[in-house]
Structure 1
Amino acid sequence: MTDGTGNPRRGTHVLYVHFDAVPHTAPEHYEALLALLTDITPLVQALPPDAALADVRGALRYFGRSAAELAQLVRLRALALHGTDCTVGVAASPLLARMAAQAGEPGQVREVRPEEAADFLGRRPVAALHGVGPATARTLCAYGLDSVGRLAAAPLATLQRILGAAQGRRLHERARGIDPTPVTPTAPPRSASAEHRFERDELDAARRRGALLTLADELGFRLRAEEQVARSLTLTVRYADRSATTRTRTLPEPTAHTPALATAAYALHDALGLQRARVRGVALRAEELTAAESAARQLSFDVRDEKARRAEAAADRARRRFGAYAVRPAGTEPPRGAEPPPDAEPPRAA
């Protein structure tokens, strides 16, 4: 599409790309999808585990296409080369592009032009505004500010009294579509992941927590073997209807300690309030990995914590000698299809 003079139409130049159904256990798949964007523009910001931002302003004239047409090209290449569909939001800022991608059904390209921004934002619920969490949304709705349009119309001083000076100003600007945040080129941070698929849709929360303990134990063992620690943990819950929920939590300190990883996984799971949800599978992803020797650790005077870490180190030595399932925390089960070696001793709970 052109502006009538033969040049690509300008105005929208930011793509928010969400890759649908990216395997969390295959980081190389995500990196290959990112390469589709870097073939178009060097300004690509990775948003793992399954999204990215791209500034295609410099690519419009080179390709002779509009930003929306480049988004369609990304979708076509992702499907043809990797069998992965994607949802793309196209706008003049990362905020609007992200909201455009999240505004409808997956597997589409949705463009919000600058002249359409006010109307698009005004019709969105306040919870859809990036940066508004559940608690903030409840607070705003209690004051009748239940849509982005009403939030934009509210006086700045009122929002600052309700939310505080910094957050009130930030949301006041975002409600008007003001987002000066640039697309900062980044590579995906190193991470490690593990996934468990249930034999049938799982309704039992205790079984789901048992699977999370198994995944936390697997990740912890791998990280300790590689002398790495994680700074954050991401939980993905996949449901029977093929939808998924992803939540991330920053850990109190960088760690590879299985109980610490399991505690964070339980907290993420319990915060979802799944109740009777039909869960098809769960995945944990340890992110922002760094060398264990360079990570600071809070000293503890808890004798039980020190004993647990010594027992964990002894269990790791047994695993390296007798197999990954020689010793494992009580309540865990090896993944389906995984069998210990014939000469290994029966697994024992730690």
Structure 2
Amino acid sequence: IDENAVRPEEERPPRVVREHIFSDDCADRTVLKGVVGALAAQLGMELRATRMQARRVGLQLDYTDGTTVSRQASVRKGVADDDSLLRLAMTALERSLTRRTRVRSCRLIGDRLHGRSPQLKLFTDPATGRKKEQLLTAMDRIRQRFGREAIRMGSQPVLH
């Protein structure tokens, strides 16, 4: 039984968007990867808070010359964990970095959303999955209580 609310046809499908605007335009790939990683963590936190999963992650880069480049990466089954979202985001980033121009802003979009399945995965170690979920839940609680910059992966820059 589909428990989703009925939406009018003209309404856009739900999606989660996180954006970063650089204070100084950026051409450093290492910085771009760090920012996209931080956006992926924010996206994951929002998805887990709403008990949703994304089957596609899109990245939109706005360049200083006014050009916008959008690329996506998809998976068959939805994901909401930071590692999977980061892999998808990095795939989209590699696909979109075709220019040498500086980037003014980047936007990470999670779409093709659906509710999380309560069913366990068949061929994975349940203990590993449980530990990973507990770690992400603990990190989400810390971010909710002390701010989203209170805890992050070492490679992620602080986003203001």
Per the normalisation by structure 2, the TM-score is 0.82
Counterpart of 2:138 in structure 1 is 314
Q: How do 1:20-35 and structure 2 match up within 5 A?
A: none
Flag the structure with more relative contact order, 1 or 2, with Cα contacts below 8 A and sequence separation at least 6. Answer: 2
Unaligned runs of 5+ in 1: 1-184, 337-350
Give the aligned partner of residue 189 of structure 1.
13
Match of 1:279 among 75, 100, 103: 103
Q: How far apart are residue 255 of structure 1 and its match?
A: 1.1
Cα deviation, residue 315, structure 1: 1.0
Residues 244-285 of structure 1: per-residue CA shift (max 9 Å, x gap)? 011122224201111111111111111234363311111100
Q: CA deviation at 1:308?
A: 3.3
- Tell me, yes or no, if the aligned pair for 2:70 and 2:96 is still in contact at 8 Å: no
Q: C-alpha deviations, 1:165-223, integer Å up to 9, x for none?
A: xxxxxxxxxxxxxxxxxxxx653210010111112221111100001001001110011
Cα displacement (A) at 1:225: 0.9
Give 1:224's aligned amino acid: R
1:167-206 → structure 2 map (5 Å cutoff): 187-206=11-30
Higher helix share: 1
SS at match of 2:60: strand
Quick one: structure 1 residues 275 and 227, their matched pair in 2 at CA, closer, same or farther if it must change by over 3 Å? same
Give the Å deviation of 1:230: 0.9
1:261 to 64, 71, 85: 85
1:225 maps to a residue whose letter is A
Does residue 335 of structure 1 match 2:134? no
Whichever residue aligns with residue 292 of structure 1, its letter is R
Write the deviation string for residues 117-156 of structure 1: whole angstroms up to 9, x where unpaired: xxxxxxxxxxxxxxxxxxxxxxxxxxxxxxxxxxxxxxxx
SS of the aligned residue for 2:46 comes to helix
Matched residue of 1:188: which SS?
coil
**After the TM superposition, which parts of structure 1 deviate over 4 Å for at least 4 consecutive aligned residues?**
294-299, 302-306
Q: CA 1:297–1:244 in structure 2 vs 1: closer, same or farther (change >3 Å)? A: farther
Residue of structure 1 in register with 2:74 after alignment: 250
Counterpart residue number, 2:94: 270
Identity across matched positions, percent: 26
Asked if 2 retains the 8 angstrom alpha-carbon contact of 1:229 and 1:295, the reply is: no
Which residue in the other structure is 1:218 paired with? 42
Query: What residue is the counterpart of 1:165 in the other structure?
Result: none
| Structure number with higher strand proportion | 2
**TM-score, scaled relative to structure 1:** 0.40
Aligned length: 153
Gaps of at least 5 residues in structure 2 are 1-8
Indicate the residue corresponding to 1:234 in structure 2.
58
Residues 304, 295 of structure 1: CA spacing in aligned structure 2 closer, same or farther, 3 A cutoff? closer
Instruction: After TM superposition, give the deviation of residue 298 of structure 1 in Å.
Output: 6.1
**1:324 and 2:136 matched:** no
